[in-house]
Every structure is written in structure tokens, then in C-alpha cells.
Structure 1
Amino acid sequence: MLRKNQFLVSALQVILSKNVQDHGYLYIGYPVIATPEGAYPIDALWISRTNGVVIFNLVEGRDVAEYGETQDESANKLETKLRSHKSLMRGRDLIATPNVITYAPMLAGSPDVDETYPLCNDNNLKSALDRIVWRDAGAFESAVSVIQSISTIRRGKRNRGVLTETSRGAKLKAIEDSIANLDDMQGRAVIETVEGVQRIRGLAGSGKTIVLALKAAYLHAQFPDWKIAVTFNTRSLKDQFKRLINTFVLEQSGEEPIWENLRVINAWGGPGDSERSGVYYMFCQANGCEYLDLRSAKSYFPTGKEFDNVCERALQQTTNRSPIFDVVLIDEAQDFAPSFLRMCYESLTENKRLVYAYDELQSLNEKSLPSPEEIFGRDNDGTPRVRFVAEQKGQPKQDIILEKCYRNSRPLLATAHALGFGIYRSPDPTTKTGLIQMFDQSQLWMDVGYDVMDGALEDGQRVQLGRSDRTSPKFLENHSDINDLIQFYCFDNKDDQAEWLAQSIKNNLTEDELQHDDIIVINPDPLTTRKEVGKTRRRLWELEINSHLAGVDTSADVFFDASNKSVAFTGVFRAKGNEAGMVYIINADDCAYSFGSLARVRNQLFTCITRSKAWVRVLGVGAGMQTLIEEFSHVQAKSFTLDFTYPTAEQRKYLNIVNRDMTEEEKRSVKSQSKNIRRLNDDVEAGRIRLEDLPEREIERLRAMLLKGPTNGTA
């Protein structure tokens, strides 16, 4: 554990849980307050609507000499912090004045409860708390926001100048202002760190990135000498991580982070300055194994598997590995191969503090992360090196699930899931289901915030799943008409699509009071993005609106270009981890069908939709777009719920086959045979070939296979 005395912490948590009925937050070793002498951590802090802000000074033994002075010191330091926030002041009076209790459970008997300087053990702690009554409970949310430092982080964003109360800009400001605090599970994820591996799972928009940033900053404020690394798959996240961490550390310690110890670094990296460094490069340097850049790796390994293989190669070349970091935090872990997670694990000191966060549905490679036992392997005796145990009271959680979504409204998220899973897709004649993919365990639907509204989550049973206010806050959808939140448009050609998009962006900037970095235009296929966005960007230039292709016209580490007031265009890979009020998805028809990789392109569409904080416009051309519109119409008709028959075990096997990865050779072979079949059909219909001229035995074989159904599906 990171805490000095876990016994004290556990004892305090148990007694509070037994004697306090009010909802509140208990922070351990937090907040960390900036003082002229350096960072000053509070032992424990309880905040609730009944008691207000209560500091606990924890005493391990029976020596309570001068405990009153210690109470004064902690109260004065925290009060100074709170007074700097206007939301907690009424004139010159602080409306969240901290109270202090010294908790010394080893003291015998029942110490007298001094109302000014309460000294408590288990026998009189409840009575001491009962005497503390907060008369300004209306400031609870503001006080929590200040304690968590969320208010400071949000203040770091540029102010909006809105003139019309009903404009999109005004609505977006209201949305941003409503996300004031971390929820219970987010708060636990930030504050609690285990000695070992910790996993954070959650939907897009559940706060994984901000939780990891705050966690890194919180650990750095407590342990400035620790070597901490934050890494990720999408390079444009680097600036976001640095901004969040810098703001938080400044708030806590009064100083900028020691960036030599707190590294926000790429996964691959290369030689050069610290900005170019990466986990893999540092691992090779520390352990004396050969480093391969991307160009070199391409000559050794298959396309798309380069990074997985260079990490595996480096692990195989080393045995007695040198520790590099005290903590590693990984965002977007679903897009990394297990070999990279193992490399991060092997780069750690003996306590192996590794935190990885991911969302299975944002995987852009059709692969799910294995279990921790599989990822990190086994010792020589067969014992798993990492094993998640059941949660124990008073202990930090190893496996945290963030079920609330604070970015996407209920209609957006339900639409993204419906299209991603193929909930309302036309059924396949063989499997009798249109489903493309499905969770391995039905319970995961509940874990990501859905409730069973009707039916049952059982094989072969109809089920209707929906999201409640508990997991999808109402303020995310109440700002606009529900039909304005997400809209689909089908165009006759790409020229019409580009013209409509350019005019819509112009309206956003000139009439809707949106700013340039409130808008993202995403092309789902990263390989065609440069070409596909050209028409719209040229039209915007004619309309005197700046735009940029993220990571091409800007540094790879930059996504939005606020300095030039420029609208961001991007492919789906670089869009990950970023968000905007208005998201335009172009060429969405590419995600309706895909040869051999339907799950992957549907996951791309899911990722695109979930970049939005408010509105989504899904654009496309032709029959594929009409298919998506038809699926969306079913989501609307079902009031943005998921109504389907849960697949049987046999159907789930087929889904896995349908969505398996095909080798390039297999794809070429199937394409070639498909052309042959099409030519044969054309020739028979045209009378150029007669059926009686074909080998009867082969026709019978083909007929038997068609009646039986496919043994290896294609998507």
C-alpha cells in the first residue's frame, strides 16, 4: 500500500461506514496542499452535506502531545486553499470552513470530546461527528469540485463568449459547466493505487483519460522523486495529458511538475530529445537490446504487426531487466498488444505499479485484451504473475469499472452500440441474427451502464436494454431536441456531401456560436483520409475558414490548432481520445459492409460517434449509407434502446467466425473466386453457358453446400 498505516485507514473507513448514513466522499492522503514549505498532504478528509468538510488527523499510537497545534496547522492550510475559490465564499466568509478531528484508535476508554479540539477513538468518533452540522449544504458540489481540483482544471479552458442563450455555443457551455465533479468510482480510481497491477475499464466518455491524468499528477504531488510514465496509443493525447497534469500539480504543490520524473511519453519512441522518447526505446536503451524503428521493423515483420513484434523481440532478447519506472499508466490499452503491456510491467520496480485503462468497443483491430493472467504470464511454478482478487473492504480496488458516461448522451451511445454490434442489422439467413459481435459475458452489458428493461439476458431470449439517468446524465440530452442530437444524411455523390458539410461548418461558426475547436470532421478509413477530406477543405478555404489535417498539417502530438482558429479534420485513429461538441462523420457508408472485417469498421463507426459531447452528423453516399439509416431508424423507433434476441452459444461461435481476421492471401483468394462466380452467373443468365454443359457432380456439390449454409462465414 502507498499509505503509511493501512490499519488506521481501514479502521476509519469501517467506523464511518457503520455510523454515517449521509452520502459523502472520504479521501485518504488527499488533498495535497501547496505551502511555502512544500506539499502538505491531509491525512484523511470527509466531505458530506451533513458534516461539511472534516479533516482527520491520524495518530498511530497513544502519543497525542500537541495534537491541537497539528489540528490548527491542517485546518489553516486547507482553509487557505478553499478561500481562493469564489464559489465557496460569501463576502469575506468561507462557507465550507473545515473542522478537524484527531483520530487515535489506540487510545483507551472514551476521551473527552473537546468541541474545539476533538480527540477520538472508535468509542466517541460518532458523537464527535454528530456535533458537526454544516448549515451551507447547498455548496456541497462546489466544495467537492474544489477538493478534487476539477474546478481548477476546467477553469484552464478558454472562456466562451456567447450572445444568444439558445445557441449551440451556449448549450455547449452549459454542458461543460455541468460536469463539475468526479463521481464515486472516478474518485476512487484517482486516489486508490494498489501495489501491483490495476485495471480501469469504461465506455468512451466515462473519464478514463482524465482519471489517469489526475492519478499521475496526484502520485507525483505525493512522491515527487518517483519515476512515473504516462503512455498512450494516440499521439495527439500528449498535449491533453500534459495540460491536465500541469494544472493539477500546480494546484496541489504550487509548482510545475518535475517533468524529468513525470514523463508523458509515446509508446514506441526513438532517439533524440525527451519529446521523441518512448517506452519501447527506453526499454531497449536500459537493457542493451537492439532497437528497431518503424522502417526497420517493416523489413522484419508483417504490416500492422510491427510494434507487437518489436516489443516481443525485445522481451525475448532480455532476461535480467533493469527497472526504469516506479509507476506506468497506460491509456487506450485495447489498442496495444499484450507484449507492450508486458514490457511496461517488466520496466517497473519491484512493486509493479501498473495501471491500464481501456474500452473494448474502441478497439480498432478487432481484438480483445486477454485476461491479466494471460497478458502477464506465469511464474516458473505455474502461478499467475498477476491475478485480480475479490474486492476487500478498506482495500483499493484492483479492477475498476466506470459505468457512467459524461460525454455521450443516451441517444448517441445507444446508437453507437446498436450500429457497432449490429443490433438492428438485417438477419443473416443462416444464423437468424444480424449481430456482428457480442460480449463474451452478458453481465458486461450491466457493467457498461445498461439496465434490462424487458426480457432476459439469456441465450435465445429477447431482451431490451436501456440506459437510465444513473449512467447517462439527463443534462447531456436535455439541452436540445432529441432529433437534433444525432442525424444521418445520404447524398447522391461525394461532391454534394462536401458542399453540405462546408456550409454546415460555416453555419456552426457564424450562427451557432461554436468555435473552431468545437468541431471535428472524421473519416473512418485512416488510409484514405488525406484524399477524402480534400474537397471539403478546399470549399472551406473558399469560404475563408481555416482547416487542418491533424498530425499532418500539425505536429503528430497536436490535434486542435486553436492558435490559427482552424477546424480539425482527421482519420479515426487520430480522433481517439479527443472530443468536440459537433462531430461530422463523412463516408460512413464505408462502415456498412466490409470484406472480412465488418467488426473492425463497425468499431470505427462506434469510435467516431462517441467523440461527440453534444451533436453528431453521420454523412455518406449510396446503398451502404441507406443501410445505416435503416438501422438507425430502428434505434429511434425503439426510443434509443437495444431490443434483440440474445445469441445462443452456437450463434456466438458463428459470430466469432464471421468476424475473424482473414489473411491477405485468403482475401485475395475469396475475391478471385467471387469474380468467377459472378462471371458464371452472368454467362448463364445471358445464355452464353447452359447449365447442362456444367459438370453435374460439381453442381450437386455446390447445391448441397448452399443448402447446408456456410462453414466459414464472411462479413
Structure 2
Amino acid sequence: MVENTVAETLPSGSSRQIPEGMPADSPLRVICYLESSLKILDEQQQEIASKYPDGPQRIRGLAGTGKTILLVKRAAKIHYEHPDWKLAFVFFTRSLYNQIKERISTYYGELSEGREPNWDNLKVLHAWGGKERDGFYRRLAIECGMQPKTVKDVENEIGKVSPGGAFKYVCNILEIEITNFPILYDVILIDEAQDLPASFYRLARNTLSEPKRLYWAYDEAQGIDSLIVPDATKIFGRNPDGTPVVDLGLASNGSFFYEGTNIRKSENLNRCYRTPKSLLMAAHAVNMGLLRQGGVLQGVSNQQEWKKLGYNVLEGDFSDASVKARKQVKIERQVEKSPHPIDRENFEVREGIKDLLALQTFHDESEEQEWIAQQVAKDLQAGLAPSDLMITAIAAEKEQDYFCRLQEALKYYGVKSCIVGTDSDPSEFGKPDCVTIANIYRAKGNEAWKVYACRFHCATQPSAWKKENELQKRNEAFVAMTRARVWCVVTGLENPIFDELRTAKEQFPFLIFPAFNKNSLKRVIDEQKSE
């Protein structure tokens, strides 16, 4: 039975009323309609959230499939049923801290007749942490009598690197230095697991009591710094007898279920609630490079894996012969895997939708900033609230300067804005009555009705000092586009990435691209097998 107790990806709170005289084609009508719609978890998610195994579990899911909500509900339920257990809910995006804590409190209150969780036993932890905010790494280092390293320490030791690179460095060192791991937790839930290095997983597991209840949720398409596909055998290794240290049932002789239960060791979520189908398909096309002039870069390489992502392969295959002959593959998204109300034929306020994916290119970035400021001002005049909007950008040189100049342009048009982490507490995502501007690291995990994804030309331009490659930049592009609940406006300087987006729009509701397989990809994201 489906329970209608959880706001899946839509905002909490009461829905807005449509002002009298609002035009039929107003985007505000779309938002008001969606806010008043029933917000639910589907049966699969309810079951996964409520049934937790005595052992590790991996949850793989697309952007917008409800991974965070699922883990939050599970944390609340475990804490309610086992109040003496020590729990840690770990994540990588600092701006999610207050949201996660508030949601756990809400769901725990529903179970406990309004009581507050015991935060001494249920810790909400940033993966790294700092002097002003507790974190998993920092807490573990101190518990082991070691001085936790800061971002500044990393810069002094190895130079300036990306956030993910810096965190990998400190975790690798801590893993080597700890000789006797303390048992600190009975359960660890990890959100955004694709952003964390392999050493972090091992650190987490080693701090758990038996039976090592480590639950991690991830989407490899959203890995910005790390390109790891969190495969248990590669991360945790094997026992002396050759069996996996962490068994997810993927071996040819393994069981997918925990003995005597219907709880799976590995779950796959592919119903995308947040992002409309056309946006998700275009985002996948850009992420994998399906329409890239130089060939596909990353992706899943057989029909069964496409099905796990929620797609049907209508024509073509991924054989060596098809790749060699450059034959075409045609796919479509399964209707039941894209339940966004906008994708229904009978959506009632279709006049207000207009262009879900808008593309705009410019000669220079000052022209881009001016245009965005004008459009945001028009959005607010049309009745949208500042909180309905988010501006993010593909990471590139002089990012802070770019955002400050954009903020000045917005100010000229009378628009108040907040640069997350500069104008606000890093644990908060924006301020009331301000349009939120966030870099891609802080935007990840958050969402808005309308998203401006700027500097999109940088998706094909890796930064040398970060030692990036194009795979990471395209992951950033995927993250930016899938922050949108309805509309995404992609802007930047003219670049081949815009040709890919135009082609994706033209091909919808299909994607048609040259055949590829494991031998022709730079990164394979098929379900990993533990042979």
C-alpha cells in the first residue's frame, strides 16, 4: 500500500494560492498545481525505507528518485525502534545539513507522537567536518588521538586541489595511520556516496559494530570529483578464501537477499520524480556524451543495464560489430519510470509549461550575466518567488568573480540574491526572499522549480589545476540540469555542448546515438559483478 506521508522531492509546507487574474499561461499556475498534488513514496521506496538489513546494503538511484528521503526515513525509523543504537547519517554537501536534520526530526516526530530525536545517539555529520561543524572524519581522527587535517593543511602539503581530491587525501592518510579502529556506531547511512573516496567507505565500515550495518546511496552520474563506481569488491576487497568482504549478492553463486528475508542486499531506484522526462533524457545525453562529436565517453553498455536506468532499447545493439559499423541505437524512457505530473497527457495546466529546456548562448560572460539578470527579474514579475529559482554554474576559473558580477547585475534589476557560503552559513542553502546562487558543489542535493545552469561551455573544458577530465565536467552538467523540478535554462558561450543539447531536444522522446560498448568507453557504469 502506498502511504501519502512524505514529500518526495517537492517542497514541504502548504501550497500557494493562484492570485486572482493570473494568466492561463503563467508558470506560477504550474507550480501551484504541482504543490497541491499528492506527494508520496512509491511502494518500493516505502519498503526499502522501512526494512533495514542486519548487514551492508547499497542503494543505486538516478537523480530525483528519492534516495535522500529514503535514507532519512530509514534513519528516523531505526532510531525510533532502537533508541540506544549509535547512528551516523553522513553526507558531502554542507548546505544539506539543516535540511537533513529537519527532515529526520519531522519523520521521527510522526513515529513518536511529536518527540525530538536523541541527537546524542543520532548524529548528522558532514563527511569531513570542521571547527564550527562536527564531521565524520574529524570525529574519528580526534577519537584516535590524531589532529584532523583542514583544507588549509591539505593546500600546504600537496597544493590546491578540488574538494573531493582534498578529502581523498585526508582519508587515505587517516586510514594508514589508524592501527586500532574504535567502534563508534551501530549504523552508518551515507548519502551522496558517489562523492566519497574508497578509503572513506573502509574507515566507516571499520567503526561499525557487527553486523556492520553500512547503508550507502549513490548515483555515479553525479560524481563531480570522484569517478568511482562504488563497487563493494573493489572498495572492501576479498577474504582469504576469495569471497567478497562485503557481499551484495552480485556474484554468480550469491544470493540477492538476506537469508530468511525479502530484503535485498543491493537496490536499484530508477523512477525519477523530480525532473521531467525531457530534461532527464537531455541530461543523460550530455552526461554520457551520447551525441558528442568525438564519440560517447561513459555509460552503460548493454540492453539490460539501460533497462535498470529506466530506458528501453528500441533499435540497435552494443555488439563489437555494431560499434565497428557505427550503427545507430535508439532508446526511449519507460513511461512508468518518469511519473512526473508534467509528463502525463492529461496535465491540467499545460499552457504554463512552455519550454522546459531553454538554451541561450552569448559572445561573452558579461552578456550572459546581463541576460540572466533580466530573465530572473521577469520571473519574479510573473509571480515566482525568489525561492523558486536557483542559479548554478559549471565550475571554472574565477568562479567567485563570476558570481559577484552576476549578483551586481541582479541588483541593478532590483533582485536580491544570496551566494551560498559567502552571503550565508555554509550549512544553509540560501536566505529568505533572495534568489539563490550556488556553485555546483553546493547546488548538488538541492533543487528548485526553475534552474539557471550557467557557463555550460565549461562542460567540455576541464581545469588543469584540478587535474580534471571531461567526464567530471559532464557529471557537473548532469547535476546542474537535474536540480530542476520543472524548467532548466542552460546558458553559456557557443560551444559544441549546445549542439548536443539542441539535438537531444529535437530527438525527444527518443535518443539516437552511435553504438558503443565497454571497449570503446572511457568509463563503464554497468552494474558491477563480483566474480
Give the structure-1-normalised TM-score. 0.66
Change over 3 Å in CA distance of 1:537–1:279 after alignment to 2 = same
Q: Which residue in 1 is equivalent to 2:355?
A: 484
- Of 535, 545, 561 in structure 1, the residue corresponding to residue 415 of structure 2 is 545
Q: Offset at 1:527?
A: 5.0
Contact 1:491–1:497 (CA<8 Å) still a contact in 2? Answer: yes
Contact 1:415–1:640 (CA<8 Å) still a contact in 2? Answer: no
Q: Which residue in 2 is equivalent to 1:362?
A: 222
One-letter amino acid of the counterpart of residue 278, structure 1? G
Counterpart mapping for 1:170-249 below 5 A: 170-178=29-37, 180-249=39-108
Counterpart mapping for 1:310-349 below 5 A: 310-349=170-209
- Of 519, 532, 552 in structure 1, the residue corresponding to residue 389 of structure 2 is 519
Counterpart mapping for 1:30-45 below 5 A: none
Task: Give per-residue Cα distances to partners, 1:449-481, cap 9 Å, x unaligned.
Answer: 111122334442532111122001251344546
Contact 2:394–2:453 (CA<8 Å) still a contact in 1? Answer: yes
| Relative contact order, higher structure (CA 8 A, sep 6+) | 2
Contact 1:152–1:247 (CA<8 Å) still a contact in 2? Answer: no
Task: Give per-residue Cα distances to partners, 1:334-372, cap 9 Å, x unaligned.
Answer: 111011111111111122111111100011126122420
CA–CA separation in structure 2 for the residues paired with 1:362 and 1:172 = 26
Is structure 2 residue 300 aligned with structure 1 residue 444? Answer: no
Q: Which residue in 2 is equivalent to 1:160?
A: 16
Contact 2:89–2:124 (CA<8 Å) still a contact in 1? Answer: yes
Change over 3 Å in CA distance of 1:639–1:153 after alignment to 2 = closer
Q: Which residue in 1 is equivalent to 2:287?
A: 420
Q: Which residue in 1 is equivalent to 2:459?
A: 591
460-469 vs 567-576, which deviates more?
460-469
CA–CA separation in structure 2 for the residues paired with 1:313 and 1:635 = 44
> Secondary structure in 1 aligned to 2:487?
strand
Q: Offset at 1:537?
A: 1.4
Change over 3 Å in CA distance of 1:457–1:258 after alignment to 2 = same
User: Hey, which of these two has a bigger chunk of helix by percent?
Assistant: 1
Q: Which residue in 2 is equivalent to 1:636?
A: 505
Q: Offset at 1:498?
A: 1.8
Identity rate, percent: 31
Task: Give per-residue Cα distances to partners, 1:230-273, cap 9 Å, x unaligned.
Answer: 1111001111101211111111102011111111111112346x
CA–CA separation in structure 2 for the residues paired with 1:291 and 1:594 = 30
Q: Offset at 1:380?
A: 4.9
Contact 1:205–1:406 (CA<8 Å) still a contact in 2? Answer: yes
Q: Offset at 1:215?
A: 1.0
Counterpart mapping for 1:391-470 below 5 A: 391-392=256-257, 394-426=261-293, 428=294, 434-439=295-300, 443-459=304-320, 460=322, 461-470=327-336
CA–CA separation in structure 1 for the residues paired with 2:459 and 2:280 = 17
Unaligned ranges ≥5, structure 1 = 1-24, 26-140, 429-433, 658-715
Is structure 2 residue 240 aligned with structure 1 residue 384? Answer: no
RMSD: 2.4
Change over 3 Å in CA distance of 1:554–1:292 after alignment to 2 = same
Q: Offset at 1:442?
A: 5.0
CA–CA separation in structure 2 for the residues paired with 1:287 and 1:175 = 49
Q: Which residue in 2 is equivalent to 1:579?
A: 447
Change over 3 Å in CA distance of 1:533–1:298 after alignment to 2 = closer
Contact 1:266–1:277 (CA<8 Å) still a contact in 2? Answer: yes
Q: Which residue in 2 is equivalent to 1:79?
A: none
Contact 1:526–1:571 (CA<8 Å) still a contact in 2? Answer: no
Contact 1:189–1:200 (CA<8 Å) still a contact in 2? Answer: no
> Secondary structure in 2 aligned to 1:548?
strand
CA–CA separation in structure 2 for the residues paired with 1:204 and 1:569 = 20
Counterpart mapping for 1:144-155 below 5 A: 144-145=3-4, 149-150=5-6
Contact 2:193–2:230 (CA<8 Å) still a contact in 1? Answer: no
Counterpart mapping for 1:64-143 below 5 A: none
Contact 1:206–1:406 (CA<8 Å) still a contact in 2? Answer: yes
One-letter amino acid of the counterpart of residue 199, structure 1? R
CA–CA separation in structure 2 for the residues paired with 1:536 and 1:300 = 34
Is structure 2 residue 153 aligned with structure 1 residue 296? Answer: yes
Contact 2:8–2:41 (CA<8 Å) still a contact in 1? Answer: no
Give the structure-2-normalised TM-score. 0.87
Contact 1:294–1:306 (CA<8 Å) still a contact in 2? Answer: yes
Change over 3 Å in CA distance of 1:593–1:312 after alignment to 2 = closer
Contact 1:190–1:211 (CA<8 Å) still a contact in 2? Answer: yes
Q: Which residue in 2 is equivalent to 1:39?
A: none
CA–CA separation in structure 1 for the residues paired with 2:7 and 2:148 = 43
- Of 613, 621, 645 in structure 1, the residue corresponding to residue 485 of structure 2 is 613
One-letter amino acid of the counterpart of residue 333, structure 1? A
CA–CA separation in structure 1 for the residues paired with 2:388 and 2:11 = 17
587-596 vs 517-526, which deviates more?
587-596
Task: Give per-residue Cα distances to partners, 1:459-506, cap 9 Å, x unaligned.
Answer: 425321111220012513445467610010112332322222112111
Unaligned ranges ≥5, structure 2 = 250-254, 525-531
Contact 1:407–1:476 (CA<8 Å) still a contact in 2? Answer: no
Change over 3 Å in CA distance of 1:268–1:444 after alignment to 2 = same
Contact 2:451–2:481 (CA<8 Å) still a contact in 1? Answer: yes
One-letter amino acid of the counterpart of residue 134, structure 2? S
CA–CA separation in structure 1 for the residues paired with 2:441 and 2:452 = 15
